[in-house]
Amino acid sequence: MQFDYPTDDLCARTSRAMRGTIYRAGCSQTSAAESLRAQTTLRYDPPGVLVQGHYQDLAECRKQTGQLSAGVELIQACSAK
């Protein structure tokens, strides 16, 4: 999976906060998401920003977004690219 964060700072803070959990996406280049076949939109609150998530396929997207951490809200359901 990969997430497109609006700022490098938010990406770094999220990566640090999620260290040691199932989250292993890290901060990536947008071009790497082209090979992934499903996407969703999440809102992180705070700071109230939208983040695009990219996943291997629809099943993985639905699995990963089935239970979200506190402060993360599903804005757009998983869809094929």
Q: What are phi and psi of 14, to 5 degrees?
A: -65, -40
**Max Cα-Cα span within the chain:** 30
Tell me which residue of 8, 18, 10 sits closest to 47, measured CA to CA. 10
Q: Cα(13)–Cα(27) distance, rounded to whole angstroms?
A: 10
Give the residue with greater pLDDT, 29 vs 38. Answer: 38
What confidence tens digit (pLDDT) does each residue in 10-33 have?
Answer: 887 777 766 654 444 556 555 567
Three-state secondary-structure class, residue 17: helix
The residues facing 2 across adjacent strands are: 54
Domain extents for the chain? 2-80
What confidence tens digit (pLDDT) does each residue in 44-77 have?
Answer: 888 889 999 999 999 999 999 999 989 999 999 9
Q: Considering the entire predicted model, what is its pTM?
A: 0.75
